[in-house]
Chain A
Amino acid sequence: MKKIVYSFLTFMFLLSACDNDSDINKVASDTTKKVKSGKEAIDKKTIKEFVDRIPSPMIISSIIKDSGIDYDQGLLNSVDNESKYVIEFKQALNLGVFSTDLGYANIYEKSQDAINLLVGVKDMADNLKIGQYFEFEKIKQLSKSKDKLDELLQLTEENLININNKLYEQDRSDLTVLIIAGGWIEVMYLATQVVQKKPNKDLEQMIADQKIVLEQIVQLLDYYASQSKMRDLHDELVDLQKSFEKIKFTKSEGETKQEEKEGTIAVQQGGSEQAEMSKETLNEITTKIAAIRNKVIS
């Protein structure tokens, strides 16, 4: 009994003593937080929710392929450029760029290019000290098998989610935002370049619809506007938004129907939404995206 009482007292004392230490840490942490802007101090959960909404660049890469447009290696960022990326800002952005390029090469089943790009992804992740969460060898093996595209896409996506989760845990969500921004800029670059070479209505519509995603990325970057490089990127994307404002969207309402089809609930959404984008606006978006992307990869 004595031992239990003694143990309890020791435990309580220990708790209070360690609490004092944590208070010291808390004060230090609060001091660090004060350096950040109010917006930046927004909780991690909110940022994660924002990030989770952003669609994978894979859909646009898939449309490019389904449109019958040939694979163009010349559009991709070269892994030789990676030595230029010495600061975290550039490393995170180009981790996003290489990831999108990797997805594009995978969709077209260009395994050698995919493996080269995988090195770029791995190196960027290593530089950011998150490389251990990227299953490089496993992805490399899957890239070599043409019948394992689904597994490859799943593993790549899960690895990126893992990386993002680790960055949240480490209080480095700004890097997650940059990875996403880099990936989106790259896929927009691919889409606009392709559509200029071979006009395609589906792809043009998809580019126009990216207005929503652009808004989400701008909002995310806005949280980190106290960091000068983040603010610069934010401002460039805000300028791009001005071009997207010229696109006219016509919406119509309709009845949504739901039915059972082979054990699945099939929904035919009612109504529609049509984007009208002039050639001038498309050219303007193409030019601005190319300029932003070139700055990112240089």
Chain B
Amino acid sequence: MKNLCIILIFMEIIIGKSLAQQKTTTPPQNTKPQQKIQTQKDTKTQTDPKKQTNKKEINPRIENCNPNAYIRDIVEALKNSGYKFLRSYKLEGPSNDPIQQEYTFSKGTNYLIRAESYVGSNLKMTLYDPTGRVIASSYDPDTQKFYSSIEITCTKTGVYKILFEHYFNKRNFCGGAVISFKR
């Protein structure tokens, strides 16, 4: 069965190639958008996220999203703040699917949760205590202002939930978040 499969795949490739050649010789009306999509895909396959040096991508499309750059920025900002790195999260995916993370916070420890995203992302963080009660939000409805960090002095050890969501923004997630701590 495997051999048959291989032969058929080979045939499929040959037919596919001839069709592709046919396409390039007769330019269809929508050539431009197709080429654009192809270029984005090519860029993605050629790029190694670990080797990327550009600091921030403001393009929210998944193809160009680089959460590591946001995380690096946050880590850089933590220097000399007294906070030590604990955990990082990549914020990626469709906007209608809020990102939920859980972490065990310890009593007597200060935690700083910082998130960075593209301009106009309206990224909102909500922090829930172990009983499921909301104890902080990075969005102030009175001033309609979004804050990039939440600092908490923890008095109860337990599993805390952090919810990242887009507020009136239907574009995809693209950002990073870091939990750091100090005693």
Residues of A near any B CB (own CB < 8 A): 3-4, 6-7, 10-11, 13-14, 17-18, 20-21, 49, 52-56, 58-59, 62-63, 66, 149-151, 153-154, 157-158, 202, 205-206, 209, 212-213, 216, 251, 254, 256, 258, 260-261, 263-273
Nearest CB on A from B47, distance (A) = 18
Question: In whole Å, how far is B23's beta carbon from the nearest beta carbon of chain A?
Answer: 11
Contact with A along B98-115 (1 / 0, CB 8 A): 000111111111001000
Contact between chains at B154 and A265 (CB < 8 Å):
no
A205 adjacent to B153 (CB under 8 Å): no
- Let me know if B88 and A269 touch, CB within 8 A: no
Does the CB pair B109–A21 fall under 8 Å? no
B16 — nearest CB in chain A belongs to which residue? Answer: A7
Segment from B57-65, B155-163, B165-173 that makes contact with A: B155-163
Closest 4 CB pairs of A and B: A209-B157, A267-B152, A55-B104, A267-B136
Q: How far is the CA of A150 from the CA of B86 in the complex (A)?
A: 9
A273 to B157, CA, bound (A): 8
> Would you call B108 and A202 a contact (CB within 8 A)?
yes
A-B contacts, 16 of them at CB < 8 A, read: A11-B12, A13-B8, A62-B181, A153-B85, A157-B86, A202-B183, A206-B106, A212-B159, A213-B104, A263-B149, A265-B138, A265-B150, A269-B135, A269-B154, A271-B155, A273-B107
Chain B residues touching A, majority SS: mixed
Taking a contact as CB atoms under 8 Å apart, the answer to whether B86 and A59 are in contact is: yes
CB-nearest residue of chain B to A252: B155
B119 touches A (CB below 8 Å): no
* B103-152 residues at the A interface, CB under 8 angstroms: 103-109, 112, 127, 129, 135-138, 140, 147-152
A158 to B71: give the CA distance in the assembly, Å.
Answer: 11
Whether the pair B15, A52 counts as a contact (CB closer than 8 A) is no
Query: Which of B71, B88, B147, B157 has a CB less than 8 Å from the CB of A212?
Result: B157
Chain B residues whose C-beta falls within 8 Å of the C-beta of A268 in the assembled complex:
153
Say whether A269 contacts B4, CB under 8 Å. Answer: no
Q: How far is the CB of B165 from chain A (nearest CB, A)?
A: 16
Cβ contacts under 8 Å, B106 to chain A: 55, 59, 206, 209
* B88 & A154 in contact (Cβ 8 Å cutoff): yes
Q: How far is the CB of A62 from chain B (nearest CB, A)?
A: 6
The complex places the Cα of A153 from the Cα of B79 at a distance, in Å, of 12
Contact yes or no, A21 B155, CB < 8 A: no
Given A17-B1, A59-B106, A3 and B87 contact (CB-CB distance below 8 Å): no
Quick check: A269 and B155 within 8 Å, CB to CB? yes
Q: How far is the CA of A211 from the CA of B18 in the complex (A)?
A: 66
The reply to whether A212 and B138 form a contact with Cβ atoms under 8 Å apart is no
Complexed CA–CA distance, A273 and B120 (Å):
40
Cα–Cα distance between A276 and B1 once the two chains are bound (Å): 67
Contact check, B15 vs A6: say whether CB atoms are below 8 A apart. yes
Within 8 Å CB of B107, what residues of A? Answer: 205, 209, 272-273
B182 to chain A, nearest CB (A): 8
Provide the bound-state CA to CA distance between A258 and B136, in Å: 7
Do A59 and B155 touch (CB < 8 A)?
no
Contact at A269–B153, with CB atoms within 8 Å?
Answer: yes
| Inter-subunit contact A17/B8 (CB<8 Å) | yes
Interchain nearest-CB distance for B157 vs A (Å): 4
User: When the two chains form their complex, are residues B5 and A21 in contact, meaning their CB atoms are under 8 A apart?
Assistant: yes
Q: A14 to B84, Cβ gap below 8 A?
A: no
A-chain residues with CB within 8 Å of residue B129 when the two chains form the complex: 256, 269
In this complex, what residue of A is CB-closest to B1?
A21
Cβ contact within 8 Å between A266 and B85: no
Q: Is the CB of B103 within 8 A of A52?
A: yes
Chain B residues within 8 Å of A158, by CB: 88
